[in-house]
Structure 1
């Protein structure tokens, strides 16, 4: 697959960089069309299409796992209530009483500082 991408990239670069004219462009386009319609290439394309959902699932699972790990490392909490109040580890907001901010300016875990 990497070789195919390299060939495609080289072909595109040559077409864009060359000043050989329309005839050479048509030759290159014909070669690219022959390559793309080659049964060996199409076989690889179909293999990639079949594996794509499986790979996407694995990547999604890994991303969710890493996000869960990151969440567990972050201290504190965050919540928003239906009445419009909000709170997190550095302060809170209540529509009735206003804002309450962590005045130590150390944020979450500030009590653990020396």
Structure 2
């Protein structure tokens, strides 16, 4: 019986809320349209629209500079040749598959790997 009463109450609330909700929604939508159509808002929109390319260019330049900065810190010096050899700051790989590793920067001591 309690579940039935809960369902009836929820259904009644939904129906009544939907009717009042649509009216309130229409009021809010009308107010939003009036605000958007006001000359002050449209003037501000035009100012932002005119300034947007300049801001986009500035942000793009800053992002590229930061990317170059990060890239220089991360990649170091790496080379890969056509014969399959590879070299970076921690080691190299020759064309025959022989790898050499600079282990001096690893672990607690230069001769100990972690």
Q: TM-score range by the shorter chain?
A: 0.5 to 0.7
Question: Which structure carries more relative contact order (alpha carbon 8 Å, separation 6+)?
Answer: 1
Q: Name which one, 1 or 2, has greater alpha-carbon Rg.
A: 2
The 1:85–1:25 alpha-carbon spacing in structure 2 relative to 1, beyond 3 Å, is farther
- Number of aligned residue pairs: give it: 90
CA-CA distance at 1:69 after TM superposition:
4.1
Q: Deviations over 1:52-97 (max 9, x none)?
A: 1111111222233334444555684122333443322122233423
- Secondary structure of 2:103's partner? coil
CA-CA distance at 1:102 after TM superposition:
2.1
Aligned partner of 2:106 in structure 1 is 106
- 5+ residue gaps, structure 2: 1-16
The 1:62–1:32 alpha-carbon spacing in structure 2 relative to 1, beyond 3 Å, is same
- Secondary structure of 1:21's partner? helix
Aligned partner of 1:46 in structure 2 is 46
Q: TM-score, normalised by structure 2?
A: 0.58
- Secondary structure of 1:97's partner? coil
Provide the alpha-carbon RMSD of the alignment. Answer: 3.0
Which is helix-richer, 1 or 2?
Answer: 2
